[in-house]
Amino acid sequence: MDILALNCGSSSVKYQLFDWKEKRLLARGGVERVAVSDSFIVHEVPGRAPYREAHECRDHRAAIGLVLETLAQESFHGKKKGTIPVDAVGHRVVHGGEHFTQSMLITPEVLDGIRAVQHLAPLHNPHHVSGIEAVQALLPNVPQVAVFDTAFHQTMPNRAFVYALPYEWYQKYGVRRYGMHGSSHLYVSKRAAVLLGKPVKNCNMITLHIGNGSSFCAVRNGVSVDTSMGMTPLEGAVMGTRCGDIDPAIPGFMMEQEGYTSKEMDAILNKKSGVLGVTGRFSDRRDVLVYAERGDEKCQLALELESYRIRKYIGAYSSVLGRVDAIVFTAGVGEMGWKIREMAVAELGPLGIHLDKEKNMAAVKRGVESDISTPDSRVRIFVIPTNEELVLIEDVMGILNGTYKAHTEFDYSFIHTDFKVG
């Protein structure tokens, strides 16, 4: 069984092809600049150098067609070229609203449900719908599954997800906290439980997904009880280009001062703020770190802002949870940014959080799980590489096999001690 995992963005289609029987990645890649101009595909097979090919893709259907054509040129499992090696497709879907609390086989009703919450994620869901429709047209007999970023957080109590706004906004329009990166928080929280040697239902932890987009999650007894992203991915952490938490009066004030339209202001908050906004030129933390070491004051400030925000959330979620067994860093910056990790947990000793600086500096290897806390730290500090694609693939197989259940009951491969990371 070969499963194609798709993540359709506004101008990109990222993919992975996974051999379920052999439990191995067959290929990965992405089509960039979809519906823009000068689009191209980058395709990679393990053990071979990636290659890039220019190919105009006017829409997502053309881009997915290019992906399938590229995969058909391979001879996976000894199949002759020209055969499309796809038995099922799993789609990452950013927003499922309140209706979708777990992954679902895509039926006409499910697709209508995804369309119905497009207003909650206008930069994401319409493109997911386009990807689903493209696969329906190109591979009409292949089953498709939607895996929702928001599903993991549907266990939050209403005190955590209701905003202090007119309540009818929630009732009429669904204005509430939903959260994102659910598959990542699911994966690393369950891996952390394995490292703790305890059932996940007995674990409290704070998971920190830190990348270009960042979100934090308070996990009590294995389920999400609070998270930093809100109705959209804009709330919460300082991110690569997103502002995170700000005074909500600022956008209106700046619109009056500069004459911005609502669309322009939305673009500024999402694409020109965060680390990029503070430094004026960088969103990649590697660049920020280099220039901070050279004395660039704005880069130093950006590091301090991001780390301070992380530390505030750790403190807040510690009070929410009462007892914290572990803090987990994951995603690109969380896995590789040792300096940001060090700054984020500084001065948290009174909470029983103690970092081993040497272990932390050494924990910058891809695909390796690390404990970077000191022996006397009451709270363990882990670096765990996330694997959202594996969650997606196992959800697809569980649904197709009829074994799929809510994540608290589902037998994921990575909840076992003999699971091999990487």
Secondary structure letter of residue 120 according to DSSP? G
- pLDDT at position 81 is 74
Question: 108-116 vs 125-138: helix axis angle to the nearest 10?
Answer: 160
Spans of all domains in the chain: 2-148, 199-383
β-partners of residue 355 are: 373
> Considering the entire predicted model, what is its pTM?
0.92
- pLDDT at position 73 is 87
- pLDDT at position 5 is 93
- pLDDT at position 331 is 93
| Helix or strand (DSSP H, E) at 17 | strand 12-19
- pLDDT at position 344 is 96
Tell me the residue length of the chain: 422
Q: Are 353 and 365 within 8 A, CB to CB?
A: no
Sequence-separated (6 or more) residues with CB below 8 Å from residue 6: 13, 14, 15, 64, 89, 90, 91, 92, 131, 135
- pLDDT at position 225 is 98
Active-site amino acid positions: 149
Sequence-separated (6 or more) residues with CB below 8 Å from residue 88: 1, 2, 3, 4, 142, 143, 144, 145, 396, 397, 400
- pLDDT at position 185 is 97
pLDDT digits (tens, 9 = 90+) for 379-391: 999 999 999 989 9
- pLDDT at position 119 is 83
**CB atoms inside a 10 Å sphere around CB 394:** 25
pLDDT digits (tens, 9 = 90+) for 38-52: 889 999 999 899 989
Q: Are 197 and 325 within 8 A, CB to CB?
A: no
Query: Do the domains at 2-148 and 199-383 have one common CATH topology?
Result: yes
Tokens of 401: 């096999």
Tokens of 214: 């960042």
- pLDDT at position 377 is 96
Which residues of 119-200 form beta strands (DSSP E)? Answer: 144-148
- pLDDT at position 120 is 83
- pLDDT at position 76 is 80
- pLDDT at position 414 is 94
Q: Does domain 2-148 have CATH number 3.40.50.10330?
A: no
Q: Are 27 and 74 within 8 A, CB to CB?
A: yes
**CB atoms inside a 10 Å sphere around CB 10:** 14
- CA distances to 70, 229, 384, 389 from 15, rounded to whole Å, are 11, 25, 22, 10
- pLDDT at position 35 is 81
- For the chain, which residues score pLDDT lower than 70? 78, 80
Question: 199-383: which CATH architecture?
Answer: 2-Layer Sandwich (3.30)
- pLDDT at position 84 is 82
- pLDDT at position 245 is 97
